[in-house]
Chains A and B, each alone.
Chain A
Amino acid sequence: MSEQTSWIETRLPVAATLRAHVTGILVPRDMPYSATFAALVTGAVIFLILSGVVLSVYYDPWHAFDSIQFIIREVNFGWLIHGFHATGTTMLFGAMYLLLFRAILGREYKAPGELVWFLKLIVLLLLLLTGYLGFTLADGAQSYWSLHSSALAVSQMGGLPGSVGAWFFGGPAGPSTLARLVVLHTAIALIVVVVLAIHLAAKRAIARIPGRPVALHPYYTSQYFVAFAVFGLIFAVLVFFAPHLGESRLNLVPASGLVVPDTIVPPWYLLPETGIANTAGSAMGHMINFIAAIAVLFALPWLDLSKPGTPPKFLSRVLSYVLALDLIALAITQTAASSLLTGILSVLFTAWYFLHFLVLVPLATATESN
């Protein structure tokens, strides 16, 4: 060891910290590839922050649409950074939803995993908010009217939610709205990093002590290497060959009072949540539905009546897969033009969501544990 590193090491224990948190950690030897989802989410968030820093240098909320066209057309490799940020969001939410699905499928939320599960849900809520704010920053005809309707709905609520909404949006999609949303978009993204760090610490704290452990490095760092390579490969295919995947074409028309979409379609990662919210009639109803949908997820550790540590049996696993299909179907329904059929289907899929958590999960887990 050279004098320089030891001088550093006595004042800032870099090597000791690495030993404690990376190389020296002992983990079970049967972790599947799906155990890397949380790391993929963290990697995607950091990647989005870095590409977002470059975009924010050129982004001008007062001429939002034009400044994005400037980034795409005039800034050196601006089109690539913009594509990284847009498609990176798709990759982030893909990994995030897989992370949540894995937690549900593997009953990771049961004691002592409740807090880790809560932190996952908080990350999801913060990411959904960040993602939605990023979508509104595009300032196309689709995102403008989406922002307009949500800001208007919040401001009409009155009371505390109305006041918070008025402070948050600064009025229904006026020119100063985007200026404050770009700050909130950045600030919430940085909070996500903090919550992810707390999530990691909480997960480490309850990690089971394996009988025949292996070191994290090199056994699982090599697994992370594979996971990140495949993740990067899927990302590269999408960003270079399908850059507009999931993007509304109407969002490439500049925001205008004269161009109004017939169906307001949020970005794909908000479709299931929008579907559940929209089955109610009023703005307050939308909010109550959304809160209820999140509340059942927070209550899941107690709705699941199985004994902690028992692996899920066949019926529970089938129900989890059906729930995933139900949410995908609900999302697809939201992209179709609004009609009587899509209305009925939305209500049916939403009903199944609540039926799953409030009735089927308690029943299935109670019968399985007997």
Chain B
Amino acid sequence: MRRFVPALAALLLAAPLAHAEDTLNPPHWQSEGVFGSYDKAALQRGFLVYQTVCAACHSMNDLHYRDLTDLGLSTAQAAAIASSVKLPSGPATLDDIFKAPVVNASAFGGALPPDMSTLVAARPGGTRYIYDLLTSYQDAPSDVTLLPTHYYNTAYPGMQIAMPPPLKDNAVTYADGTKATTAQEAADAAAFLTWAAEPNLDDSKEIGLRAVLFLVFLTIIAIATKRKIWRESL
């Protein structure tokens, strides 16, 4: 018993450090892994990046402002965010879909910004792909001739993308004091889009853990029942 006390103390001391862990080097997300759940602070930061930067060109037609309560916001806070969005019919309400931008068909050389509702689920690499795409803009090598209105991006298939580099340092100001580097903004946006594509991930893992534990016990009981029946009467 005594042997475990130092180990326990070390664990407790390490816990606050775990909170301050660097999630960018290498980039990883709390929702990854079998028992991972969404980091709501990161989701809220990601929503700010979406609202400030991405929403200028990308729609999210499967999401409503009421869904923001999933990010740890109260209904009043979500309603306040909605009412700050101006729709043609007046201020948005909780039951409105995220405001779709009006993108001129000739903008970006005719490329259409995709709807981002299921983007993470639809792209190979998922969350990590979004992060890589947002952080992999570079100057084109001298032997590459870019298409007109395209940018060199090593994470994009074909390496030439019509989307201009969307993020820069301090593009947003985070309410929780997190330093708004390009990498931080990209990681938070990737976390937010992961939630948008898989909003039921936390529920799924929570119910799943209970269901699996229940079924493990049911299996044990079933095996014990079968053995007892066969032993008793043969």
Binding site for B on A (CB under 8 A): 29, 69, 72-73, 79-80, 83, 214, 218-219, 222-223, 225-226, 229-230, 232-233, 236-237, 239-241, 243-244, 249-250, 252-253
Contact = CB atoms under 8 A, between A and B. Distances in A.
Interface string B126-159: 0000000000000000000000000000000000
Nearest to A70: B62
Contact of A226 (B200, B211, B223): B223
Contacts of A253: 118, 122
Given A229-B218, A241-B205, A243-B204, A236 B212 contact: yes
Contacts of A237: 208, 212
Given A222-B222, A229-B222, A230-B219, A69 B117 contact: yes
B207 A222 contact: no
A23 B143 CA distance: 79
Contacts of B219: 226, 229-230, 233
A249 B222 contact: no
Interface string B44-62: 0000000000000000001
Contacts of B123: 249
B interface majority secondary structure: helix
A69 B117 CA distance: 10
A237 B211 CA distance: 9
A252 B121 CA distance: 7
Interface stretch (B18-26, B81-89, B178-186, B224-232): B224-232
A195 B56 CA distance: 56
A232 B199 CA distance: 25
A225 B225 contact: yes
6 nearest CB pairs, A to B? A240-B208, A252-B122, A222-B226, A233-B215, A79-B200, A229-B219
Contacts of B63: 73
25 contacts: A29-B234, A72-B200, A80-B204, A80-B207, A218-B229, A222-B222, A222-B225, A222-B226, A222-B230, A225-B222, A225-B225, A226-B219, A226-B226, A229-B219, A230-B219, A232-B215, A232-B218, A236-B208, A237-B212, A240-B205, A240-B212, A244-B121, A249-B121, A249-B124, A252-B197
B218 to A, nearest CB: 5
A69 B62 CA distance: 7
A240 to B, nearest CB: 2
Contacts of B121: 244, 249, 252
Nearest to A74: B64
B73 interface: no
Most buried by A among B63, B118, B209, B223: B118
A87 to B, nearest CB: 11
A123 to B, nearest CB: 26
B117 A226 contact: no
A219 B229 contact: yes
B9 interface: no
Contacts of B223: 226
Nearest to B62: A69
B216 interface: yes
B34 interface: yes
Contacts of B218: 229, 232-233
Nearest to B230: A219
Given A240-B207, A241-B205, A253-B122, 15 more contacts: A73-B62, A79-B204, A80-B207, A214-B234, A218-B229, A222-B226, A226-B223, A229-B215, A229-B222, A232-B218, A233-B212, A237-B212, A240-B204, A241-B204, A252-B197
A214 B230 CA distance: 10
Contacts of A80: 200, 204, 207
A241 B34 contact: yes
Contacts of B118: 69, 252-253
A318 to B, nearest CB: 32
B206 to A, nearest CB: 9
Contacts of A73: 62-63, 67, 199
A239 B225 CA distance: 27
Interface string B184-200: 00000000000001011
Interface in B1-54: 34
A226 B62 contact: no
Contacts of B229: 218-219, 222
A249 B204 contact: no
A229 B219 CA distance: 5
Interface string B102-119: 000000000000000110
A72 B215 CA distance: 25
A322 B99 CA distance: 57
Contacts of B212: 233, 236-237, 240
A219 B226 CA distance: 7
A225 B226 contact: yes
Nearest to B212: A236
Nearest to A65: B118
Contacts of A230: 219
A237 B34 CA distance: 10
Contacts of B67: 73
Contacts of B226: 222-223, 225-226
Contacts of A241: 34, 204-205, 208
* A80, A232, A233, A236 — most chain B CB neighbours (10 Å): A236
Contacts of B216: 233
A241 B218 CA distance: 19
